Amino acid sequence: MKVVIIGGVAGGATAAARLRRLDESAEIIIIERSGYVSYANCGLPYYIGGVITEKEDLTLQTPTSFWNRFRIEVRTHQEAIRIRRKEKAVTVRNLTTGETYEESYDKLLLSPGATAIKPNIPGTESEGVFTLRTVEDTWRIREWIEKKKPARAVVVGGGFIGLEMLENLMHAGIQTTLLQKSEQVMPPLDYDMACGVHAYLRKMGVDLRLRQNVTGIERTETGITVQVEGQEAIETDLVILAIGVSPETWLAKDAGLTLGMRGAIVVNPHMQTSDPDIYAVGDGVTVPHYVTREPAWIALAGPANKEGRIAADHMCGIETSYAGSQGSSVLKLFDMSIASTGLNERSAEAAGIPYDYVVTFSPSHASYYPGASNMTVKVLFHKETGRILGAQIVGFAGVDKRIDVLAVSIRAHMTGQDLAELELAYAPPFSSAKDPVNMAGFVIENVRQGLVKQYRYQDIEGLPQDGSIIMLDVRTDREYAAGHIPHTLHIPLDSLRERMGELDPQKPIYVNCQSGLRSYLACRILMQHGFQCYNLIGGYRYYALQQSEKELDTVPSHSCGLPIH
């Protein structure tokens, strides 16, 4: 069997190595347009920022090491420019010599990846304006920074690459402005969870500007001018365009293969395209979303690796299938960790799934052990079955560990009750006896069993102001004095039983505390005395983050003054 693989990195290189492990006699050729076949794509920003200091640390395999260990032929600086399906051949151009040649195949694997999107505005090709996708892009940006020594930078786009580049530019001593066209950074997060990230970015000195539409870039004698719709132009020395990527599938399109959403290649569970002798993997394909079963385009390294392995298995007669992706991810942002898996509210609504959610604040480990820091955990669940649909966590220590548990819970079709019953490792330096995952499960079950009813921060503005309800704050005097929701009655939790006569049992009571725990206790007290009670999801702290974001709107450059830890 002769297998030609177009594109390396996660999907293509993984498939090639797996093929060799399964079939020692197969002829395997990798055609790679760049000069690098297998590299740490996700580590590129950290070389630019000087966190990773050696170029060689980014290279996982070279053409020589592939040949020595696997007897796989890797041809770098060569580009596949046409697939001739009837002849089962690929036309390849040698980018060094300009010559073209034909390469036959029995099986063909496409691992084209995704290409960085450039906005359709003037100036994107100017000196000092970069995108980041390949190792060569990384060298260019790092060398430009070392040569020009920029003092200011603008990053356009607040997704994974944008935030990682922002952190690393700041790490390199470059004052950075982040421009985001939408109302939030990190699209996998819901807006309410992103607000905590916004506050942290400002605390770290980032000039964060949301709802900013870049209309042009101009090179000037003193640097670069970034023009923003309805705003003053921004003077800078360096621009990173990180507005997203799109699947690079022109080769598949020209070959007549079936394409789906966003132009990505449609594949079956074995990673076969509409031509059974052509497989495709990685950022260039659509796969089922594991939760909704609808087609999804998820550009992550983990799924690409798994898809490459499955394609290789199927070529060798092993009937493995890809069950789908749930988009599990984690991002380091200075000391903060941002993680998500499964559905967020937008995707749940788009899929028509009846969902609810809970928000908890939990310490990363036992609060009495030094160094604990809070994490915000948001978990979506199916209203009718309690099945876990998705989760988002923003915090510091321990975020990665909890999102992995929640990712497994989605894969295992677990419910809130299952989360509550999980037996997870505990010692004071690592966790609490009631782990944050358990806590989320407890709250979900309380909601589903009717032990507490919830209301959201978005509901507050719509609540009647005519005296027909009671807004109750059960925090301490000091907490209440530091800030509170307007028109709230203040009765500290520990005084509630003695002061219950101040409350009208005919009126619904909307309770809040700082995080949602004490107000839950207040609701349990009140409900058992005949009151109708609702608990504010996430508490005053969560509400205050959203209100602060409203007040700041698009005006950056200062901290919101809210506690991040």
Q: Please give the positions annotated as active site.
A: 42
Tell me if 72 sits within 8 A of 66, measured CB to CB: yes
Instruction: Give the C-alpha separation, 553 to 546, whole Å.
Output: 10
- Rounded Cα distance, 530 and 548, in Å: 35
Question: Smallest Cα–Cα separation from 165: which of 66, 44, 343?
Answer: 44
Inter-residue contact 520 to 445 (CB < 8 Å)? no
**Number of neighbours of residue 414 by Cβ within 10 angstroms:** 20
Amino acid at 36: Y
Nearest to 485 by CA among 468, 496, 473: 473
Sign of the four-CA dihedral 131, 137, 142, 144? negative
Query: From CA 545, how far away is CA 361, in angstroms rounded?
Result: 14
Report the distance separating Cα 320 and Cα 317, nearest Å: 9
Residue 3 near residue 29, CB atoms below 8 Å: yes
Q: Write down the number of H helices and E strands in the chain.
A: 15, 33
What's the number of CA atoms in the CB half-sphere (13 Å) around residue 473?
Answer: 20
* SS3 label, residue 236: strand
CA distance 537 to 173: 39
Strands 73-76 and 27-32: parallel
* Residues whose CB is less than 8 angstroms from the CB of residue 8 and which lie 6 or more positions away in sequence, other chains included: 16, 30, 32, 36, 37, 38, 74, 111
Residue 191: CB atoms within 10 Å: 16
Per the listing, tokens 């590129």 go with 44
Q: Answer whether 549's CB lies under 8 Å from 195's CB.
A: yes
Whole-angstrom distance, CA of residue 421 vs CA of residue 430: 19
Residue 486 backbone class (left: φ over 0; alpha: ψ -120 to 50; beta: rest): beta
